[in-house]
A and B are shown apart, each in its own frame.
Chain A
Amino acid sequence: MADQEQPTKNEGGETGGEQSDNHLNIKVNYEGNEVFFKIKKTTPLKKLMEIFCKRQGVNQDQMRFVFDGNRLTGTETAEQLDMDDQDTIDVLVQQTGGF
């Protein structure tokens, strides 16, 4: 289902092969569905998080973006997190419990 969705911003009409050094394809896994994003290594992930929440129609305050045990706050870049191509960011929903 999610394979069709490619919320990428093509800047300057580049082709996939040439710009592969700067760009990464990142999977975002939310409740078993995967959405693919193409991002720059130096772009803060806030952009990805906002676009994802906007597209899914969910409140960003209630979503937890987790990558390798790190909670993403939005200021990190893919370079800082040592992300590779085809890596997965998991999106989890806020948990509550009382009894």
Chain B
Amino acid sequence: MRGSYFDINNFFNAFSDFGDKSHLYPKHWINRRFNDDDSYDFDSDLSSYSDSDEDMIEQVPVTPRRRIILKKRSTTPKIESKPNVRKEVAATVAVPIPKEPTIQNPTKQPEEYDPFVEWTDDNNNDQVSQNTIVQINGVGVSRSSLSTLLGHTWLDDGVINAYLSLLYSDCESKNLKCYMFAPCSTNFYEMLKSPKHSYDYEEYNYNRVMRWTKKVSIMKMDKVLVPICINGNHWVLAVINLRERKFEFYDSMIWDDTHTHIGNNILNKLSRYLDEEVLHRENVTLNSNRWRRFLYGPSEIPQQDNGHDCGVFLCMFAKHVCQDKNMNFKQEDMPEIRHKLLSCILNKNCNF
């Protein structure tokens, strides 16, 4: 066999021949030169790689001891009582046979928890409300939803729907004719508008919410409250005031003229919905486009001065609209109101 690719002894010996320039030459040149004395041929050097590869696979000479090992290998499968067909296979693949018992061991491990348990009729009711803390009108409020009431977190639709459905049942008990599409209040406008363009007047689909008012007639209500999530980051409240024939828009954060643009677009859709709904249910044409619109400004309704309280403001707007009260709350009250909302939902009573 020729010299290995890098033999450290040869490498250091090579310094004597090459002097300081030894680092410029490939190492195998050095080895090669050392082994083959003087004559160096580049072609033969390239071919030597293939040669050396063959050398590595060369057969080991059969020594007397190896002969015994080979005999043992050929005899062991014969001892096992296996069908004749498999004898030859076992002789050639003799090595993996003893590994079989070790592979079978891991199957005896204890069963691991599988999150994707196949659904059967048996586990129907046990995991229905794993995360649910409280049930309001049949809809569970999850732990993650309730936790958004704490600190400076943005409120999610679970909390707002829960509070509005509490408010709705409270209004029913007090004979206040307010409706807020409970228990899916926040989803109503999301369904009414197109999924892509929230402000475009043309993007509107009445058919998706046509069956929402099966049990309730909107025309008999005084007020219809529509909580809206704008752009997925801001909560506002739109109110259809059927008693006074007007639309109201409550936004807790107004900083420029886009507020009126957004508000008008939302109220356009709601008036279009109202017309279509009344025409569909009562067969009456109602030109609600002519109704007055109130896009309340900062001087008329309380405003938030931070970036996380608008959901709380929405709940408070809804409460005061339903109960016809003056809006006398401020930004400073919000931390307290968050705690009150939490206790309201846990106690299933919307008043505080």
The answer for the CA separation of A26 and B124 in the assembled complex, in Å, is 20
Question: Any chain A CB within 8 A of the CB of B61?
Answer: no
Residues of A within 8 A of B148 (CB): 96
At the interface, yes or no: A5 with Cβ under 8 Å from chain B?
no
B229 contact from A32, A51, A64, A95, Cβ within 8 A: A95
Cα-based distance from A60 to B139 in the complex (angstroms): 15
Complex interface: chain A residues within 8 A of B190 (CB): 92, 95
Residues of the A chain whose Cβ atoms lie less than 8 Å from the Cβ of B317: none
Kindly list chain A residues whose C-beta atoms are within 8 Å of the C-beta of B183: 70-71
Partner of A64, one of B125, B157, B307, B311: B157
Distance to closest chain B CB from A46 (angstroms): 7
Given contacts A66-B187, A69-B213, A73-B128, contact A97 B230 (CB under 8 A): yes
A-side interface size class:
20 to 34
Task: Identify the interface centre among B212, B253, B306: most chain A CB within 10 Å of its CB.
Answer: B212
Assess the A98–B234 pair: CB atoms within 8 A: yes
| Contacts A50-B119, A94-B156 given; does A99 touch B144 at CB 8 Å | no
Residues on A with C-beta less than 8 A from B214 are 68-69
Q: B124 touching A44 by the CB < 8 A rule?
A: yes
- Which residues of chain B are near A69, meaning CB under 8 Å? 181, 184, 188, 209, 211-214
Q: Are A99 and B307 in contact, CB atoms less than 8 angstroms apart?
A: yes
Within the assembled complex, what's the spacing in Å between the Cα atoms of A92 and B308? 23
Q: Does any Cβ of A come within 8 Å of B271's Cβ?
A: no
**Cross-chain contact of B128 among A31, A70, A74, A98 (Cβ < 8 A):** A74
Interchain CB contact (< 8 A) of A96 among B119, B124, B157, B213: B157
What are the residues of chain A within 8 A of B119 when measuring CB–CB?
46-47, 50-51
Closest residue of chain B to A72, judged by CB? B139
**Could you tell me if A31 and B195 are in contact, using CB atoms closer than 8 angstroms?**
yes
Nearest residue (CB) in B for A75 is B128
The listed residue (B191, B233, B307, B310) touching A90 by CB distance below 8 A is B191
Contact A61 B144 (CB under 8 A): yes
For the complex, what is the distance from the CA of A62 to the CA of B261, rounded to whole Å? Answer: 31
CB neighbours (8 Å) of A46 from chain B are 119, 124, 128
Cα(A87)–Cα(B183), bound, Å: 20
With a cutoff of 8 Å between Cβ atoms, the chain A residues found around residue B187 in the complex are: 64, 66, 71, 90, 92
Question: Looking at the complex, which one of B142, B208, B230 makes contact with A61 (CB distance below 8 Å)?
Answer: B142
Q: List chain B positions with a Cβ less than 8 A from chain A.
A: 116, 119, 124-125, 128-129, 131, 138-140, 142, 144, 148, 153-158, 161, 181, 183-184, 186-188, 190-191, 195, 208-209, 211-214, 229-230, 232-235, 253, 304, 306-311
Residues of A whose CB lies within 8 Å of any CB of B are 31-32, 44, 46-47, 50-51, 54, 61, 64, 66, 68-71, 73-75, 90, 92, 94-99
